[in-house]
Structure 1
Amino acid sequence: MEKKKVNYKLLFELFMTFFKISPITFGGGFAMIPIMEEELVTKKNWIGKEEIVDVFAVSQSVPGAIAVNSATFVGYQIAGVPGALAALVGIVIPTFVIIIILGALLSSFQHNIHVQAALQGIRPVVVALIASAAYKMSKVSLVDKICFTLCAICVLVLLLFKSLNLILVIFMGAFFGIVIVKVKEMQNHTVAQKKVRGEKF
């Protein structure tokens, strides 16, 4: 059996892509979504728009940080286990180094007026990034009235029950998605049978 060659150039490109994404992302993994979409879908064309939505959905539904999970998932999709490791190392190293440096310097600048002002400016930008990502994902995910209704119900549930486990909401969405697909299949099957009967008569 011929051993598959490792594409080191692709692995290095994966590493550098996530190495660049990691330090410019403020506000957690969700703020990383539009940046990852820009790099992976638009610039690199490694995965499609629908695939990136699936990546974020899966990454959110498993334990761990969404940024790390997404990077690992994408890396695996593109170059298998070596790709997953390259993307994982790329996404973790910059943040790790920055946190170590900030931890060492925290006591000297945590009450600095300029630092506090900068953070106040960053927070609304993070909200804008997340809103932008949500809008872009909605164009791919909300393909019909049923999907839109399901999304609206989930938003309402999350707003009313703030302590509700997010994993539970995701699994509920998966369950209803399966039910909706099955119902549509049954409806299509019924319509097809009626057409066949009509042709016979």
Structure 2
Amino acid sequence: MIYLSLFIAFLKIGAFSFGGGYAMLPLIEEEIVLINQWLTHQEFIDIIAISQMSPGPIAVNAATFVGYKHIGISGAIVATIGVVFTSFILVTTLAKVIIKYYNSTIVTGIFSGIRPAVIGLIAAACVSLFRSSIVDFKSLIIGLAVLGILYKTKLHPISVIMFSGVLGIIIFSI
């Protein structure tokens, strides 16, 4: 039964989240932390951080980590299949139709409506992550430093994450 619950939770996430992993974060948080209570909010934030550092889509990585933490390797497999299942079916089914009618007013209208919604979902995820990650003045300084570094330079995100980890050791150990 737990496997079915895990599969259905991530199937819903994959089916009803458009725009990539960041747009999925509010739904992942709702399903995993609030509804099923498989993770605490802090564990969810940690898994998102790990998912961002790992190669691959954030939603797939998050599903794999949640499934593994909750059940083990079999849980990781079930959650990962759940989150990609709907996308796989939709992409393989609709690819020909979208390509054929890509320049039609209906398809153009659909994508014109979806794009701003995706930005709203990403913004909601940012607000949620900000609230739980910026817990004091020290974490605010790290967050603002990273924002400034990434805005002003072309540093690779892995370098910035490693720098932030070292900075966290220094700042939070004092």
Contact 2:11/2:83 (8 A) holds in 1: yes
Q: Tell me which amino acid in the other structure corresponds to 2:3.
A: L
Q: Give 1:173's aligned amino acid.
A: S
Counterpart of 1:122 in structure 2 is 114
Q: Distance in 2 between matches of 1:122 and 1:167?
A: 30
Equivalents in 2 of 1:140, 1:122: separation in Å? 27
The aligned counterpart of 1:62 is 54
Contact conserved, 2:14 with 2:87, CA < 8 A, in 1?
yes
- 1-structure distance, mates of 2:94, 2:156: 31
Q: What is the CA-CA distance between 1:127 and the residue it aligns to?
A: 1.1
- Pick the structure with greater CA Rg: 1
Q: CA RMSD in A?
A: 1.2
2:163 to 172, 177, 180: 172
| Structure 1 stretches lacking a partner, 5+ long | 1-8, 184-201
**Structure 2, unaligned runs of 5 or more:** none
Aligned to 2:4: 12
Q: Distance in 2 between matches of 1:50 and 1:15?
A: 23
Code of the residue aligned with 2:83 in structure 1: it is: I
Deviations 1:109-144 (A, max 9, x none): 211112111211111111111111111111211111
TM-score of the pair, normalised by structure 1: 0.83
User: What's the secondary structure of 2:13's corresponding residue?
Assistant: helix
> 1:96 corresponds to which residue?
88
CA distance in 2, matches of 1:107, 1:64: 25
Instruction: Give the SS at the match of 1:143.
Output: coil
Q: What amino acid maps onto 2:144 in structure 1?
A: A
- 1:6 is matched with none
CA positional deviation for 1:104: 2.3
- 2:131 is aligned with 1:133: no
Question: Are residues 1:181 and 2:172 paired?
Answer: yes
Normalised by the length of structure 2, the TM-score is 0.95
Off by >4 Å, runs of 4+ in structure 1: none
CA deviation after TM superposition for structure 1 residue 164, in Å:
2.5
